[in-house]
């Protein structure tokens, strides 16, 4: 293992150990699905020059290759994943040496009452790990999306509106110091009620097809893609 990769692994391990010491539930919400997806990812041959989308079910649900008209785009979303899970698997993403990495993670942490400060620390550790092992990768840290607790089938453990705002404010503030591009998806998906715009959501948390198109259109408009 190269020195940079070793340092990244140590960084991730330190963050995970600190959280375990605090007795937090760091497991993904769907551990079997997580294991299956990680096994699939590890079985695939690494590539270069790709765009990678990294995150949880909101990312996994995106047909990114079709949306962008580029079959080389890689989806590294795992339903139920959280910031701890991404830290555990960041080495697999790094070996892809992507030109651009789009990260969206944290809402599943909130569903387990993980503190916003812990989530943002983990996101910072993910960014540092990628930069250490793949310095040419441009990193786009995307804000958490708004939720709509009034939507049918909304899962109450995700009713964390203020925590979402706190995390997003921290991610915006940290962009310059950690040299990543902050992408404010929240502002693009929130409605006048300060909730997820129902035009783009299907259960107050996840996006529908129009939501994904809106997401991609915004990334193109802001020249992230």
Q: What is the bridge-based pairing of β-strands 51-55 and 100-104?
A: parallel
Give the three-state DSSP class for 47.
coil
The 10s digit of each residue's pLDDT in 95-145 is 999 999 999 999 999 999 999 999 999 999 999 999 999 999 999 999 999
Residue 115's φ and ψ, nearest 5 degrees, are -65, 140
Residue 157: pLDDT over 50: yes
What does the alpha-carbon distance between residue 147 and residue 134 come to, in Å, rounded to a whole number? 33
What does the alpha-carbon distance between residue 97 and residue 47 come to, in Å, rounded to a whole number? 7
Among 40-44, 67-71, 153-157, the minimum mean pLDDT is found in 40-44
Give the three-state DSSP class for 197.
coil
The alpha carbon of 138 is separated from its chain's Cα centroid by a whole number of angstroms, namely 15
The 10s digit of each residue's pLDDT in 170-223 is 999 999 999 999 999 999 999 999 999 999 999 999 999 999 999 999 999 999
The structure's pTM equals 0.89
Alpha helices in the chain (DSSP H): 3-21, 31-43, 57-60, 64-68, 83-94, 107-111, 116-133, 161-178, 185-189, 209-221
Residue 155: pLDDT over 80: yes
Smallest Cα–Cα separation from 218: which of 120, 148, 136, 143? 143
The structural domains of the chain, ordered by start, are 3-221 (3.40.50.1110)
The 10s digit of each residue's pLDDT in 30-58 is 889 999 999 999 998 776 669 999 999 99
* Average pLDDT over every residue of 61-79: 96
Place of tokens 């096994």: 39
What does the alpha-carbon distance between residue 141 and residue 134 come to, in Å, rounded to a whole number? 16
Provide the pLDDT confidence category of residue 25 given band limits of 50, 70 and 90.
confident
Q: For residue 187, how many C-alpha atoms fall within 13 Å in the half-sphere facing its CB?
A: 9
């Amino acid at each position: 293992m190269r020195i940079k990769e070793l340092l990244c692994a140590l960084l991730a391990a330190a963050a995970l150990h600190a959280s375990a010491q605090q007795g937090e539930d760091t497991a993904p919400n769907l551990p079997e699905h997580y294991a299956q997806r990680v096994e699939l990812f590890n079985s695939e041959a690494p590539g270069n020059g790709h765009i990678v989308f990294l995150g949880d079910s909101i990312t996994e649900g995106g047909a990114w290759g079709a949306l962008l008209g580029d079959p080389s785009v890689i989806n590294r979303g795992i339903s139920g994943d959280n910031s701890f899970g991404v830290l555990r698997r960041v080495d697999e993403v790094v070996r892809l040496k992507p030109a651009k990495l789009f990260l969206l993670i944290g809402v599943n942490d909130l569903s387990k009452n993980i503190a916003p400060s812990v989530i943002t620390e983990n996101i910072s550790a993910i960014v540092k790990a990628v930069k250490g092992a793949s310095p040419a990768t441009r990193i786009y840290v995307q804000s958490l999306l708004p939720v709509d607790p009034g939507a049918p089938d909304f899962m109450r453990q995700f009713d964390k509106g203020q925590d979402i705002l706190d995390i997003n404010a921290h991610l915006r503030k940290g962009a310059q110091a950690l040299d990543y591009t902050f992408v404010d998806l929240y502002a693009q998906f929130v409605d006048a009620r300060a909730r997820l715009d129902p035009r783009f959501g299907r259960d107050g948390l996840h996006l529908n097809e129009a939501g994904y198109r809106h997401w991609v259109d915004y990334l193109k408009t802001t020249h992230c893609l």
